[in-house]
Amino acid sequence: MLYGRTVLLRERQAALRTSESAYDRRRLRQWLAGEARADGVSRRDMLRLLAAAGLAGAAAPAALAAPAAAATAPGIVKPLPDEWFTVRGTNAETRFAALAGTGYHTPNDRFFVRNHTTTPVLTAADWSLTVWGDGLRNGRPAEFSLDDLKQFPAVSHSAFVECAGNGRSLFTSQQGQTVSGTAWTLGAIGAARWRGVRLADVLRRAGLDRRAVDVMPRGLDAPYVLADGTDLGRVRRPLPLSKALDDVLLVHEMNGEPLPPDHGHPVRVLVPSWIGIASLKWVGDIEVSAQPLYSPWNTDFYRLFGDAHPAGGSAPLTRQTVKSAWELDREATLTAGTTHRLTGRSWSGAGGVVRVEVSTDGGTTWGEAHLHDTPRRDGWVRWSTRWRPAATGPHTLLARATDSAGRTQPDATVANTQGYLFDAVVRHPVRVE
């Protein structure tokens, strides 16, 4: 049964990724023809991608190097009290139980932090953004101070930022699979009201040329060095121009406050509905390129690798998947014989969540959760359900969301070696006493 389901899941994933794969192949062909740049990506890695896409016979697929566990000190500026966060290396995961009663937006002081290295403490007055590259008409870099940026029409947008690896530990705890990377449970997500300006406006002012195809924002945080000493350079990931001109913002406010240091002060990129790595923090420059660009963050990382995926990995990941989480600790204790109001949140990168089904008996029977927010693109919905546990002992809670695009959380997620895009229904253990 599990096998049949896995095949179906594979087909579904394959369908979702088909257009992205065609796009990826087109770009790889351009690289082969010397029309795309891949600074900081080894030739071997590019050849692996080409082989996987069926574009080069010569290259044997190479084994994937697992991302190194960061061995540095946390380097996070804000306090990380135990009741709100679980520290994981250089990162801090929000405890979902700490979101109960906080409202729609995640308070800045409870918002998860994902840092490749450490938070750089930058001063807004000394900061400027350089937009440069051969995708600009006049070929001259353009520079913008924060005050310059604020001259563009202001835009506010409510959106979640969620790490591609959110839920990664469930691949192991729920599916028995080995994956590499930060062992998040479900708290590598937060939703905020962001305020800033359209990247499209800034690019046009800088002299965007019709030949431009990719833009690559780069962070001012320290270069990312793997455990084996390989320096991957500053965090950067190309964004197709189509997305950059669509709904991407350069934001300087989060929930009505200047961006806090840990979340990108003074300016970060916000790429709604896409995986968190796209929402680059502490942006210092943006390359506008007339050729497709590659970085380790769209070649080695943030593609799906593994048995169920193409040998060189899937196309670069973009949209987030569907997930649900209870605002309860795992192994939380509940009292028997009393009615509890249990709460949670569900979200999706493909549209608003329109339905949440819940089970308090391990998946035998299901009911509808009560939704407290209207379905919103790029956002989540809060929900609640009442439960009066009769018997003491261990119980398993489940929640299954469906979004406006018709995507429902499956019973299992097809494995990938780096544990991205977990979307299966989570079995949440609680104890009734």
Ligand X SMILES: Nc1nc2c(c(=O)[nH]1)N[C@H]1C(S)=C(S)[C@@H](COP(=O)(O)O)O[C@H]1N2
Rule CB under 6 A: choose which of 276, 296, 312, 419 binds ligand X. Answer: 276
149-188 positions binding Mo ion, by CB under 5 A = 163
d(CA 137, CA 206): 8
Residue 252 interacts with, from Mo ion, ligand X, none (CB under 5-8 Å by kind): none
- C-alpha pair distances (Å), 221 with each of 195, 214, 379: 22, 22, 28
Residue 30's closest CA among 52, 55, 54, 60? 55
Adjacent-strand bridge partners of 55:
none
Angle at 317 (CA atoms; ends 311, 322), nearest 5 degrees: 115
What is the smallest separation between the CB atom of 67 and ligand X, expressed in angstroms?
Answer: 11
Rule CB under 6 A: choose which of 131, 159, 163, 334 binds ligand X. Answer: 163
Residue 127 interacts with, from ligand X, Mo ion, none (CB under 5-8 Å by kind): none
Amino acid at 83: E
Residue 92 interacts with, from ligand X, Mo ion, none (CB under 5-8 Å by kind): none
What is the smallest separation between the CB atom of 364 and ligand X, expressed in angstroms?
Answer: 35
Eight-class DSSP state of 206: H
Q: Residue 260, exposed/middle/buried by CB under 10 A (0-12, 13-18, 19+)?
A: middle
- Given the complex with ligand X, which of 46 and 251 has the nearer CB atom? 251
How many chain residues are in contact with Mo ion, going by CB under 5 A? Answer: 4
Tokens of 350: 């493909």
What is the smallest separation between the CB atom of 103 and Mo ion, expressed in angstroms?
Answer: 24
Assess 17 for contact with ligand X (CB under 6 A).
no
Beta strands in 95-136 (DSSP E): 128-132
- Given the complex with Mo ion, which of 114 and 198 has the nearer CB atom? 114
Residue 280 interacts with, from ligand X, Mo ion, none (CB under 5-8 Å by kind): ligand X
DSSP of 213-272, one letter per residue? -EEEEEESSPPPB-TTS-B--S-B--EEHHHHHHT-EEEEEETTEEPPGGGTTT-EEE-T
Site string for ligand X, 227-246 (x = CB under 6 A): --------x-----------
N- to C-terminal Cα separation, the chain: 35
**237: CB partners within 8 A, 6+ apart:** 216, 217, 277, 278, 280, 295, 297, 298, 302
99-118 positions binding ligand X, by CB under 6 A = 111-116
Site string for Mo ion, 231-270 (x = CB under 5 A): ----------------------------------------
Residue 85 interacts with, from Mo ion, ligand X, none (CB under 5-8 Å by kind): none
What is the smallest separation between the CB atom of 232 and ligand X, expressed in angstroms?
Answer: 11
333 by DSSP, 3-state: which? strand
- Given the complex with Mo ion, which of 114 and 382 has the nearer CB atom? 114
- Given the complex with ligand X, which of 179 and 235 has the nearer CB atom? 235
Rule CB under 6 A: choose which of 252, 281, 376, 407 binds ligand X. Answer: 281
Residue 219 interacts with, from ligand X, Mo ion, none (CB under 5-8 Å by kind): ligand X
H-run or E-run covering 168? helix 168-173
45-104 positions binding ligand X, by CB under 6 A = none
H-run or E-run covering 4? helix 2-32
Eight-class DSSP state of 159: E
d(CA 206, CA 136): 7
Assess 219 for contact with ligand X (CB under 6 A).
yes
- Given the complex with ligand X, which of 282 and 383 has the nearer CB atom? 282
d(CA 135, CA 146): 23
Tokens of 25: 């192949």
What is the smallest separation between the CB atom of 285 and ligand X, expressed in angstroms?
Answer: 12
Assess 219 for contact with Mo ion (CB under 5 A).
no
> Which region, judged by CB under 5 A, interacts with Mo ion, from 171-179, 215-223, 277-285, 345-353?
277-285
Tokens of 341: 């109001």
The residues binding ligand X (CB under 6 A) are: 111-116, 161, 163, 219, 221, 235, 263, 276-277, 279-282
Binding site for Mo ion (CB under 5 A): 114, 163, 276-277
